[in-house]
Structure 1
C-alpha cells in the first residue's frame, strides 16, 4: 500500500539529488508538484488502537465536551477580580501522585 502525503499548500523543500519523488524536480513552482501524486484507493483505512479509543471516549461526557464551560468562566472571573486562591499544597500533592503514577510500581 502506498501512502501519499500532501504538502497542504506549503512550499516544497529541495530534496537531495537522486531522492526526488516521481522524477519531478523538487522545489519547482510547477502546479503538478502541488497536486497529490495519486488518489487514495478504496482499500485505505484507519485503525485506532485501544488507547486511542479510550482517549476518545474519555473526551466525551454524555455526548458533551469534556470542558465545563461554566466552571471555566467562574475561574476566569475569580482571576479577573482577584479572588482566585491557589493551594500550593494541593498542587504539590497532585504533582507527586502523578510522578508516582508515571514511574510505576516500586521495584523490590
Structure 2
C-alpha cells in the first residue's frame, strides 16, 4: 500500500529505491561513493520568518539579566505570607500580553 504525502511547499527529497535483494540502492551506491571532503559544498539553509523570530527571541532571552535581589525579596515574602499580589495589575498585564500576541 502506498501513501502519498504532500511536501507543503518544502523541496521534495529523493527516496531510496529497493533493489532485488532487499538492500536499498542508496546503500549500494554509498559503498562506491567518494569521500565527502572532495565533494563541493552545495548545501544551503533558508530560515523562515518564524525561525528568525525564534532565534531573535532566544538571543534576547540570553541577554536579559535576572534581578536576584528582587527574586529573593519575593521568595521571602511568599514564604512568610506577606506577599500581596495586585489583581488589577496582573489583569492589565495579561490583557497587554494577549493584545501583543493577537497583534492588536
Give the TM bin, normalised by the shorter chain. 0.3 to 0.5
| Higher RCO, Cα 8 Å, sep 6+ | 1
Larger fraction in helix: 2
TM-score of the two chains, using structure 2 as the length reference: 0.45
Q: Which has the larger radius of gyration?
A: 2
